[in-house]
């Protein structure tokens, strides 16, 4: 079975408090974008399940991969046979795009369908929350207001249909642990949910990503990309998550050929709350 796990961007991101469990409470809107990995799961002829990686190569112990962790989590509760997972990575990591979480969430949903496990969405959300703070978002995979660690999700009415997205990822890796270790949590003056209800053209005055000050100081190049997107006519621009990717929302399609010489670039046009490549 083949699926196409997609990335997300953050529309605003407030880090509001540090929790007793060592995590942080956040407030953000997760919004799906059409930059996708390719994930295939088949029954294996091997004695153990295996992960095969192509595209962007993951240089890490396979046992640390979220796809394998998702499989192991499911195998604890269900008699799932050995499978081979083929993962072609297009979504860059260290980018704030949730690619690993998207892959893991799709492993959960594919296994549920392949082996007729009849697991409810609520239970899938619980499994996903065990794997990662933003993993649960990809079970529903529609615009959601996220709170708690990012696993508490509420439907929100935000639709970017008709706007164009330019997403830029420099050749920089931002460790999420570094970003959180250097942030000072604070309560926002205006909640993300209130700002999102305003016209997109007004977001640049109110909608903030708390990580930007920390990350821009360490990586001025990321700040420069955001400033360049605004100079090109973006009506809103922001870093996604804890970086290093930056996106701009535009009223019209944008020529990105000069960016493509130095950066990973993805463009799309949103339609009906989703997105299509342009």
Which residues are the active-site residues? 8, 134
The CA-based dihedral angle spanning residues 204, 209, 213, 217, taken in that order and rounded to the nearest 10 degrees: -100
3-state secondary structure of 127: helix
Cα–Cα distance measured from residue 80 to residue 236, given in angstroms and rounded to the nearest whole number: 45
Length of the chain: 278
DSSP string across 95-107: SSS-HHHHHHHHH
Helices (H), 81-191: 99-114, 121-131, 137-140, 176-181
Q: Please provide residue 243's backbone torsions phi and psi, each rounded to the nearest 5 degrees.
A: 85, 175
- How is residue 80 written in tokens? 């799932």
Cα–Cα distance measured from residue 144 to residue 53, given in angstroms and rounded to the nearest whole number: 30
């Amino acid at each position: 079975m083949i699926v196409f796990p997609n990335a997300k961007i953050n529309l605003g991101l407030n880090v509001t408090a540090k929790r007793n469990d060592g995590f942080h409470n956040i407030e953000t809107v997760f919004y799906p974008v059409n930059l996708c990995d390719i994930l295939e799961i088949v029954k294996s002829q091997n004695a153990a399940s295996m992960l095969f990686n192509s595209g962007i190569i993951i240089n890490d112990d396979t046992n640390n991969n979220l796809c394998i962790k998702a499989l192991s989590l499911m195998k604890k509760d269900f008699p799932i046979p050995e499978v081979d997972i083929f993962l072609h990575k297009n979504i860059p990591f260290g980018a704030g795009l949730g690619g690993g979480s998207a892959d893991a969430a799709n492993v959960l949903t594919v296994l549920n369908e392949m082996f007729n496990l009849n697991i409810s969405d609520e239970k899938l959300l619980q499994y996903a929350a065990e794997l990662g703070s933003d993993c649960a978002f990809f079970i529903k995979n529609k615009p959601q207001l996220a709170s708690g660690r990012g696993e508490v999700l509420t439907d929100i009415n935000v639709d970017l249909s008709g706007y164009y997205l330019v997403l830029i990822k420099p050749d920089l890796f931002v460790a999420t642990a570094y970003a959180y270790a250097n942030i000072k949590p604070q309560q926002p003056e205006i909640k993300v949910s209130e700002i999102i209800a305003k016209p997109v053209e007004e977001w640049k005055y109110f909608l903030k990503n708390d990580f930007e000050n920390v990350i821009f100081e360490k990586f001025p190049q990321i700040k420069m990309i955001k400033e360049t997107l605004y100079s090109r006519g973006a009506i809103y621009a922001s870093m996604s998550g804890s970086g290093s990717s930056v996106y701009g929302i535009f009223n019209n399609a944008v020529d990105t050929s000069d960016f493509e010489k130095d950066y990973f670039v993805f463009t799309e046009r949103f339609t009906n709350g989703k997105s299509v490549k342009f």
